[in-house]
Amino acid sequence: MSGLEKIIELSKYENFMEEPKKFEESLYASAYKKTKKLVKETLNESEHIEEEQLRRKIGTLDKKEINNMIAFVGKRGTGKTTAMFSFLNYLNTYGNSIDEEPFKDIDFGAVKFHCLDFIDGGLLEKEENILHILVANMYRKFMETSEERFHDDWREYDIRELQELFIRVENSLRQINDKNKWGQSSIENLKNVSNSLGLKRDLEQLIKRYLSLMKNEKSRFVEHNQKQVLVIAIDDLDMNLDHGFDTLEAIHRYLMIKDVIVFISADYDQLLNLSKVHFGKMYKDLRDEAENIKDQISNISHMYLDKVIPLYKRVYTESFTFDGNQNIKINDSNNKLNIKINDSNNKLNIKRYIFEKIYHKTGMLFDINGKKTHFYEPDNIRKLKYMNMFFDYLDDKVGEFYPEENYNEMLNDFSQRFIGDKLEYEERKEMQKIMNSNLYRGVEQLFRYLIRCITQKEGQEIEDLLRYKKERTQTLSVYFY
C-alpha cells in the first residue's frame, strides 16, 4: 500500500467508530496523529504547571491557565464526529493492548483517561447549562462506580467529601444561573460575582477528588505514579444557535484546568457566525454612531476564536473532493454485491466503488476513466456512507432483469435530492419543467435551455462555456438515460 493511500472502512463508519489499530491507514490518519501529539503536549503542560506550583509555591492569583481544548474542525459531513468519537474510544481503552497502540513514537506514559459520556451540543435545551450536564455526568459515573467498588471503610471520608463538593458546585451553578437574583441589590450582585469567581476553584477541587477516587486500584497502598485525566467531549457545538457561544465561553472560563482535556467538534464558519451574533449585541445601541461596525464585530470575533481555539489546537477533518483522490480507497467488509475487485489489496477507489454499486443494482453505466471528481461522486464521508446504505437497501437483480423499484428509487433520489445539491435555483426550475414533460418534449426543452445558456454568455468561446456547464449538463441529461 502506498504511503499516501488512505482507507475508508465503511462498515466502521456505519457504527461511527474506527479501531485504534486502523488509525495509521485511516482517512483521518493525520488528524489522529496530530490529536495524539496535542494530548501529549497538554499532559506535559499540565505536569509542568504542577511542578512550578510546588517549586515556587504559587498562590491562586498566580496560577497559569492551561489551554486544554482540542477542536475537530470541518464542514458538515466531513467526519468530525467519527474522528473525535474514535479517538475518545481509544483514550478510554488506552493501555489495554500495546499491540494496537497507534503512532507508538508518541508515548503518553503512565496515564489513565476517564472519559465522560459524549455530549451533543446541538441538543442542549435553552435551560440547560454545559457545566450542569458535566457535573451530572460525573456524579452518575461516580454513583455507578461506588456501587461496584467503594465498600472499604477507609474510603468513607473521601466519598463524603466528594459528595459535599458535588453539592457545593451545584449550588454555585444554581445561584449563578438564577437570573431573578441579579439586579435586586448591589450586595446580591456582588454575591453572585463571588460565586462565579469561586466556581472554577470548586470545579478544580471536585475534579481532583473525583479522579482520585475513580482510580482502578482497590487498595489504598498503591503507587501514585499513574496520572489521572478527565476527558470531556462535546459534539456539534456550533449547531446550538441559542447557546453555542455561551457553551464555548463556559468551557474557556471554567474548564481550562490541569488534568482535564476538552474535545469539541464544530464548523469554524458557523462558530464565527455565533461569535458575530454575540458581539454584535454589544454594538446594537451604537447604530450609526460607530463607523465600520461590521468590520469591528468581525475582527473581535476572529480574535476571540484565535484566543479560545488557537490555530495549533485545531484538528481539521478533510473532505475528499480533490483531484488525485485515487489514493483514497474503499474497504467494505459487508460487501453484499460480490463486486470483482482488481486491486491486489482488495480495495476500490471512491469513484469505481460507487459506480460498481449503481451498475450491479440498475445496470446503468458511467464513465469512470476521468481522473477528476465525477459529478455523481459523494463529496464527504456522510454522503458516501448514506449513498452506500441507499444502494445496499435496493434489491439485487433476478436473472437478467433489474427490479423496477430500483429505477424508481434512483429517480426519486435524483429528483428530490440530487438536483438540489448540484443545480442552482433557476436551473432547478428548468429541470422541473423537463421532468414534467414526456421524453421527446423533455429533450427538446433541454437543448433549448442549453442554447439559451450559450447565447447569454457573449464574448466567451462556446468550448469554454460548455466546459463551465459540463457538470450541470450531465445532471440535467442523466434523467433521460
342 — pLDDT class (breaks 50, 70, 90): very low
Average pLDDT, the chain: 77
pLDDT above 50: residue 270: yes
Q: Which three cell numbers stand for residue 344?
A: 491486489
- For residues 368 and 354, the answer to whether their CB atoms sit within 8 Å is no
Give the DSSP H or E segment for 260.
strand 260-266
User: If we measure between CA atoms, which residue out of 385, 261, 374, 381 comes closest to residue 317?
Assistant: 381
Give the three cell numbers for residue 445. Answer: 426543452
Question: What amino acid is encoded at 163 in this protein?
Answer: Q
Q: How far apart are CA 393 and CA 15, in angstroms?
A: 17
Cβ neighbours, 10 Å, residue 79:
29
- Concatenated DSSP letters for 268-314? HHHHHHHHHHHHHHHHTTTGGGSTTHHHHHHHHHHHHHHHHS-GGGE
| C-alpha distances in Å from residue 100, one per residue of 1, 272, 325, 339, 472 | 19, 38, 28, 30, 46
Q: Measure the CA–CA gap between 262 and 474, rounded to whole angstroms.
A: 45
431 band by pLDDT with thresholds 50, 70 and 90: confident
Owner of C-alpha cell 472499604: 152
pLDDT digits (tens, 9 = 90+) for 388-429: 888 888 888 888 888 888 888 888 888 778 787 778 888 888
Arithmetic mean of pLDDT, 323-350: 54
Strands 260-266 and 69-73: parallel
Percent of the chain with pLDDT over 70: 70
CA distances (Å), origin 73, targets 6, 31, 79: 19, 10, 10
Sheet holding 6-9, edge to edge: 6-9, 328-331, 348-349
Place of cell 464527504: 380
Amino acid occupying residue 225: N
Question: 283 or 31: which carries more pLDDT confidence?
Answer: 31
In this prediction the pTM is 0.73
With 90 as the cut, is the pLDDT of residue 248 above it?
Answer: yes
Q: HSE of 181 in the Cβ direction (CA atoms, 13 Å)?
A: 15
Q: Tell me which residue has cell 483531484.
A: 323
